Every structure is written in structure tokens, then in C-alpha cells.
């Protein structure tokens, strides 16, 4: 190639680049930078606003403005011989999954033909009619199949409660209740029968009996409601934080730090081939009890962050309030150094998801309420009260101890005598929430010696720290949080003292860093551009106990893990 040709090509490229700069509408798309574009602008320029016109929200959300071009990119990468093969195009408006009962009841017209799959809830036979109720878990509703003298032959004689079936037929109004629907089957197929030793027969069953079959509980109506409410609650919690511009952070499950320090951890070891004496990691590690310390690191760059992670605590407690594997919702927010502002945030983060779940899952909540062993006293506080404007009560730890001491001196009813400087026991917390305040109550400003090293000391009293616990009726502690220590020198002194103490045999110091090197990364978050920040954590399963009115925490998770039990 001649020098003139090369110069000519180079000039053309420069002119193209200058043209792109002068004409923004022809700026580079993603594919021009070396990676494929998932979307390109439609050729119809009339649907695209000019650079001088404001873009409305409706325009930015209008799917007609964008069109997929991934097929074009893919076609340029495949073998030309394969391009002649026919394939169906993706239609985002068509459902490629089987219709559920929820879909049918929402969209199907009367007298229309429908096809359903599900499980038999019950069979009731009469002389000339047979009624079969089926459900598929998509909704609290079930569909009743009516077999009369014309289609009674369709029912297989071995169909029993719990069997999976497929049915097609006409959708009709229920002949007794116009709000419900029946299907008159034209075909009925048994997918798989359920043998006679099925443990859940149509009779009242004690929750302790049902817990023996955790793997089968999703077949029960009540537990279906548990799982649907759990799903909705998870979505609403995420929505609360996303709507308030928090970023979700996936904090580590494996860690060398014990953020809480008050409970035992699950140590991790690896069986490796070869040198069995060499540890997988360079230090002892465990399953995380909290993602707080790592979340603080993210907070000091993103301002508002949260996580929704599993947590593990090797507790030997067998109470109805404890699991050794559970889910935690934790949040950290920068430039908040007031414990009262933190309490405001916590209260909103509890109220809004509860309100939304009650609005979106009324039938499930009703079913759970009917079968509840409610831990709440209806005369003091109910689930609906969380949706009202009555604020949660607030009391300092010092005043709370005074209230408890007065009550104990009069009645002697506490097993553990309350005293300043000691942790509140469950009986103390429930007295405050159930009896004295008769509402959720924030207890704040605890003694520093019974709290963790990362909590900031109060300016007016170095003996207390700016921390808070939310106590709720029937449950006791639901949320714990604090203003974090943000001063590098102060935190360094606390960590040095903590490390010296944690090296002692059988140390149970509140919050610890496992080795000397572990302290440096956490201190670095205060060394390089520290800022005041606060945060808190909430046990998701305890939150669900409130929503579902469940007395036992093992009934709000599908496969509970607790001391001595990990069978499925």
C-alpha cells in the first residue's frame, strides 16, 4: 500500500472521529468500542427526541425507542451454514411456562377452555357427583373439579389426596358461591399418585408433628402461605432500601472476624489432598455471624448500603427464638451520627415492609392468623398497629433499669434481678414491650462495658455508648444498632485493648478481630477519609414471626437449623 493511500485512510478516520464529535447523534455505540450492543436505536427518527428536546419519563420507558439487536450480533458470530436453520423468535409478551391457577383465575373468561396442573387437596364423592379440589401453590385459591355422570369416567380410581394431576376443561362459576370457580373436565390425567402413608392427612395436626417433615411442609396450605409471605417480605425489604437509594452489598460468608463476639462461631476447615497439615487459609476462619464490619467499608465509599445475607451462630440455645443459621438484614448510612436519627430510620424500615405485605398478601396473612399461636397479647399490640401512625416508644437504658427495678421491688416477679451495668434479659425486654409501654420500644445508650468495641461513646457520658435495641411485643429484641466509632485514634486504642483481651484463653470479649493483622484493614477505613456513620442489623426470621404471628421461629423457615438438628 502506498504512502498516499495510508495517509488518505488515516485522514478519513480522523474526519469520521471529528464528525462524531460534532454530531452527537452519531456517537459511538457499544459495539464500536469492541463489545456487542444489546440495544440499538430504532431507525425511525421521529420516535427519538432531539438533543434539544427534554426527554420525558414515558419516552425513556417506551420500549419502541429501543429494539434488541443481540440476534444480529449473534448471527455474525455463528457458522454461516447454521444461519439457514429456522428458530422461533423471543416474544416477551407470551408466556412459555404452564399457566398457574393464579393466571387462570385472573385472566381466563367464563366458558373458556383451560388447562391446569397441580396437587389434589381433597376428594369428595357423592352418588351422582364427585368433587376434586386442586391447588398449585401460586395462590391461596384452589379450583374445584366437578365430575358428573357425563365425565365421571375420567377419574382414575387410584387418585388420592396429594397426587399430582393434569386437567383440561371449561371454566364455570361455582354453583354455590359466585366468587369461586369450577372446572368441568374434558380430560384428567394422573401425573403421579400419592401412597397411603402420606403423613399429612385431612385432620388437625400439631406444629411439633409437622416439623418432623420439613421437606414436605410446602404441601400444606398454611406453610404455602408462610413461603409466599416470606417471599413478599423479602421483596418489600429490598424495595424499601432501593427506593431510599441504598446499594446492596454481598458481604463475605467466610471471615476471620467475629463482629459480635457474644456467640460461638462455626470454624471452617478443608480436607485437602497432599499436605494435610497445611491450612487452606493462612489463618483460622469461620462462617460469618454478621456482615457489619465489611458493610462499613462499603458505606465509607457509597454512603448508604445494606445487605441481606445468611448468618451463622453456634448457639446451644433450644428456645423458640433461636436458629444457628438465619438471615440478616443490615444497613449502614454515612453522615448520620445521631442515635435518634438512626431510630427514625429503623422504625421506617420496619413499618413500610409490614404495611406493604399486609396490603399485598391479605389472604395469606388471614390464613396464618387463623392458625396462629400468636405471641402477641391482642389487648396491647396487634400486627395492624405497625401500619398506624403511633410512634414506637423510646427510653434510655438507665430509665429502663429504673422502671424494671421499681417493678421488681414491688412484685419480685423477675428471675434475674435488673441492675445498671447488666444486660437486659428476655423477661425484662418483654415486660417493657408487652406490659409497660404496650408497644415496640427503643432502648438506647447502654453501658459501654457490655457492648461492642466499634460503638461510639456518648459525649455526655463516657460510660455509655450511642447504641440502641428495638424490643417488640411477643418477640423481645428484633433490631440492634449503633453510631459507629469513626475516629482513627480512638478506634485504634479500642482495638489494641480488644486484641490484648481476645488473646487470653476462653475470652468472650464483645466483638473481636481474630489476629493482629485483621485489625489493620478495619482501621484503614478510619485512616483514609473517615466519616461519621451509623448502622443496624435485623434478624429476618424474627421479623417474619411478627408478620406471620408464629410463636416458634422454626415455623417461618423451610429448613430450620438449630442445636442438634440438621437432618434435611
| Domain range list for the chain | 101-198, 217-555
Residue with cell 493462612: 282
pLDDT at 278: 67
Classified as helix, coil or strand, 376 is coil
Neighbouring residues of 450: CB distance < 8 A, sequence distance ≥ 6: 421, 422, 423, 510
Mean pLDDT of 342-365: 97
Q: Which of 316-320, 342-346, 424-428 has the lowest mean pLDDT?
A: 316-320
The Cα–Cα gap between 499 and 495 comes to 6
User: Does 472 have pLDDT greater than 60?
Assistant: yes
pLDDT digits 0-9 by tens, 269-308: 876 655 556 678 877 888 999 999 999 999 999 999 999 9
Give the CA radius of gyration of the chain.
31
Average pLDDT over residues 330-343: 97
Residue 386, beta-bridge partner list: none
63 or 563: which leads in pLDDT? 563
Q: Over 50: is that where the pLDDT of 58 sits?
A: no
Predicted local confidence at residue 273, as pLDDT: 58
- 127 near 80, Cβ under 8 Å? no
Say if residue 7's pLDDT is above 60.
no
| Helix H or strand E encompassing 70 | helix 70-77
Identify the DSSP state of 233: H
Task: Give the integer Cα–Cα distance in Å for 225 and 365.
Answer: 8
Q: Most confidently modeled of 47-61, 113-127, 409-423, 499-513?
A: 409-423
Q: What pLDDT score was predicted for residue 95? A: 66
**Which cell numbers hold the place of 445?**
445508650
Residue 43 has pLDDT above 60, yes or no: no
Query: For the segment 506-518, what is each residue's pLDDT rounded down to a tens digit?
Result: 444 455 554 455 6
How big is the CA angle at 147 (ends 146 and 153), to the nearest 5 degrees? 155
C-beta neighbour count of 233 within 10 angstroms: 23
Rounded CA gap, 164 and 189, in Å? Answer: 9
In order of 88, 253, 277, 423, the CA distances from 93 in angstroms are 14, 39, 58, 57
Tell me which H or E stretch contains 242. Answer: helix 221-243
d(CA 83, CA 466): 67
Report how far residue 150's alpha carbon sits from residue 416's, in angstroms, rounded to the nearest whole number. 72
Share of the chain above pLDDT 70, in %: 76
- For residues 245 and 318, the model is more confident at 245
Residue pair 293/259 in contact by the 8 Å Cβ criterion: yes
Q: Please, which pLDDT band fits residue 88 given cuts at 50, 70 and 90?
A: low
Confidence of residue 14 (pLDDT cuts 50, 70, 90): low
User: Residues 475-515: pLDDT tens digits?
Assistant: 999 999 999 999 999 999 988 887 776 544 344 445 555 44
The Cα–Cα gap between 157 and 169 comes to 19
Task: Extract the C-alpha cell encoding 558.
Answer: 423451610
Distances (CA, A) of 371 to 144, 307, 356: 23, 32, 22
Question: Higher-confidence residue: 1 or 277?
Answer: 277
Mean pLDDT of 9-29: 49
pLDDT at 513: 53
Beta partners for 149?
A: none
Q: Please check whether residue 416 is in contact with residue 387, taking contact to mean a CB–CB distance below 8 angstroms.
A: no
Convert the pLDDT of each residue in 533-562 to its tens digit: 999 999 999 999 999 999 899 999 999 998
Task: State the average pLDDT for the chain.
Answer: 82
Backbone angles phi and psi of 80, in degrees to 5: -55, -30
Write down the pLDDT at residue 487. Answer: 96
* Residues 110-151 pLDDT 10s: 888 999 999 999 998 888 888 999 999 999 999 999 998 777
Contact 245, 334 (CB under 8 A): no
Distances (CA, A) of 85 to 71, 72, 119, 378, 484: 14, 15, 40, 67, 62
CATH 2.60.40.150 fits 101-198, yes or no: no
The predicted structure's pLDDT at residue 42: 37
The pLDDT score that the predictor gives to residue 177 is: 84
List pLDDT tens digits, range 244-275: 999 999 999 998 877 665 558 888 887 665 55
DSSP E strand boundaries for 193-273: 247-248, 254-255, 257-258, 267-268
Please list, in sequence order, all residues whose beta carbon lies within 8 angstroms of the beta carbon of residue 147, skipping any fewer than 6 positions away: 129, 130, 131, 132, 154, 155, 185, 188
Please give the residue that has the higher pLDDT: either 537 or 459: 537
Class level of CATH domain 217-555: alpha beta
pLDDT at 321: 85
- Is the alpha carbon torsion for 428, 430, 435, 439 positive or negative? positive
CB atoms under 10 Å from CB of 132, counted, come to 25
Residue 111's SS3 state is: coil
Which pLDDT band, with edges at 50, 70 and 90, does 98 fall under?
confident
Query: Which range in 79-83, 384-388, 564-568 is most confidently predicted, on average pLDDT?
Result: 384-388
Q: Provide the pLDDT for residue 517.
A: 57
Give one DSSP letter per residue of 517-553, joined into a string: THHHHHHHHHHTT---EEEEEEEHHHHHHHHHT-SSG
In this model, does residue 202 exceed pLDDT 50? yes
Is beta strand 441-444 parallel, antiparallel or unpaired with respect to 393-396?
parallel
Reported pTM: 0.80
Looking at per-residue pLDDT, the higher value among 541 and 389 belongs to 541
Strand partners, 333: 304, 534
Using CA atoms, how far apart are residues 165 and 174, in angstroms rounded to an integer? 21
Name which residue leads in pLDDT, 52 or 418.
418
Amino acid at each position: 500500500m502506498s504512502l498516499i493511500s495510508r495517509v488518505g485512510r488515516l485522514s478519513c478516520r480522523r474526519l469520521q472521529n471529528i464528525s462524531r464529535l460534532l454530531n452527537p447523534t452519531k456517537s459511538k455505540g457499544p459495539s464500536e468500542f469492541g463489545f456487542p450492543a444489546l440495544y440499538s436505536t430504532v431507525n425511525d427518527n421521529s420516535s427519538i427526541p432531539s438533543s434539544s428536546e427534554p426527554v420525558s419519563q414515558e419516552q425513556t420507558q417506551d420500549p419502541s425507542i429501543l429494539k434488541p439487536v443481540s440476534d444480529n450480533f449473534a448471527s455474525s458470530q455463528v457458522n454461516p451454514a447454521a444461519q439457514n436453520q429456522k428458530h422461533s423468535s423471543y416474544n416477551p409478551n407470551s408466556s412459555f411456562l404452564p399457566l398457574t391457577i393464579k393466571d387462570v383465575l385472573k385472566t381466563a373468561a367464563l366458558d373458556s377452555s383451560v388447562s391446569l396442573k397441580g396437587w389434589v387437596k381433597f376428594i369428595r364423592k357423592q352418588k351422582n357427583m364427585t368433587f376434586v379440589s386442586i391447588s398449585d401453590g401460586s395462590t391461596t385459591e384452589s379450583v374445584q373439579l366437578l365430575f358428573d355422570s357425563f365425565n365421571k369416567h375420567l377419574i382414575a380410581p387410584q387418585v388420592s389426596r396429594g397426587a399430582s394431576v393434569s386437567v383440561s376443561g371449561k371454566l364455570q362459576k361455582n354453583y354455590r358461591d359466585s366468587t369461586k370457580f369450577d372446572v368441568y373436565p374434558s380430560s384428567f390425567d394422573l401425573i403421579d399418585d400419592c401412597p397411603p402413608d402420606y403423613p399429612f392427612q385431612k385432620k388437625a395436626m400439631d406444629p411439633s408433628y409437622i416439623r418432623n417433615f420439613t421437606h414436605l411442609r410446602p404441601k400444606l396450605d398454611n406453610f404455602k402461605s408462610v413461603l409466599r409471605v416470606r417471599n413478599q417480605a423479602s421483596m418489600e425489604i429490598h424495595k424499601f432500601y432501593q427506593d431510599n437509594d441504598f446499594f446492596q452489598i454481598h458481604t463475605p460468608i467466610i471471615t476471620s472476624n467475629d463482629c459480635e463476639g457474644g456467640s460461638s462461631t462455626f470454624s471452617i476447615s478443608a480436607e485437602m489432598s497432599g499436605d494435610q497439615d497445611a491450612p487452606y487459609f493462612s489463618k483460622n476462619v469461620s462462617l460469618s455471624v454478621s456482615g457489619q464490619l465489611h458493610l462499613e467499608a462499603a458505606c465509607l465509599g457509597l454512603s448508604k448500603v445494606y445487605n441481606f445475607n445468611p448468618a451463622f451462630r453456634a448457639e446451644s440455645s433450644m428456645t423458640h427464638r433461636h436458629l444457628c443459621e438465619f438471615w440478616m438484614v443490615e444497613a449502614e448510612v454515612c453522615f448520620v451520627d445521631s442515635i435518634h436519627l438512626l431510630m427514625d430510620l429503623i422504625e421506617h424500615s420496619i413499618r413500610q415492609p409490614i404495611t406493604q405485605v399486609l396490603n399485598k398478601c391479605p389472604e395469606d396473612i388471614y390464613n396464618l392468623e387463623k392458625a396462629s399461636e400468636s405471641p402477641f397479647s391482642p389487648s396491647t399490640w396487634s400486627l395492624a398497629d405497625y401500619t398506624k401512625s403511633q410512634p414506637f416508644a423510646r427510653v434510655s437504658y438507665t430509665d429502663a433499669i429504673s422502671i424494671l427495678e421499681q417493678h421488681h421491688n414491688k412484685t419480685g416477679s423477675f428471675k434475674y434481678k435488673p441492675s445498671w451495668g447488666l444486660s437486659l434479659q428476655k423477661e425484662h425486654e418483654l415486660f417493657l414491650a408487652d406490659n409497660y409501654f404496650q408497644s415496640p420500644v427503643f432502648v438506647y445508650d447502654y453501658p459501654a462495658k457490655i457492648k461492642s468495641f466499634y460503638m461510639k461513646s456518648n459525649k455526655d457520658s463516657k460510660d455509655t455508648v450511642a447504641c440502641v435495641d428495638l424490643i417488640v411485643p411477643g418477640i423481645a429484641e428484633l433490631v440492634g444498632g449503633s453510631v459507629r466509632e469513626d475516629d482513627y485514634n480512638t478506634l485504634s486504642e479500642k482495638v489494641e485493648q480488644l486484641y490484648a483481651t481476645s488473646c487470653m484463653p476462653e475470652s468472650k470479649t464483645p466483638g473481636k478481630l481474630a489476629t493482629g493483622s485483621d485489625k489493620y484493614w478495619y482501621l484503614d477505613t478510619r485512616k483514609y477519609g473517615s466519616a461519621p456513620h451509623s448502622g443496624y442489623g435485623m434478624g429476618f426470621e424474627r421479623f417474619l414471626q411478627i408478620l406471620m404471628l408464629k410463636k416458634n421461629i422454626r415455623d417461618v423457615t423451610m429448613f430450620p437449623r438449630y442445636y442438634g438438628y440438621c437432618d434435611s
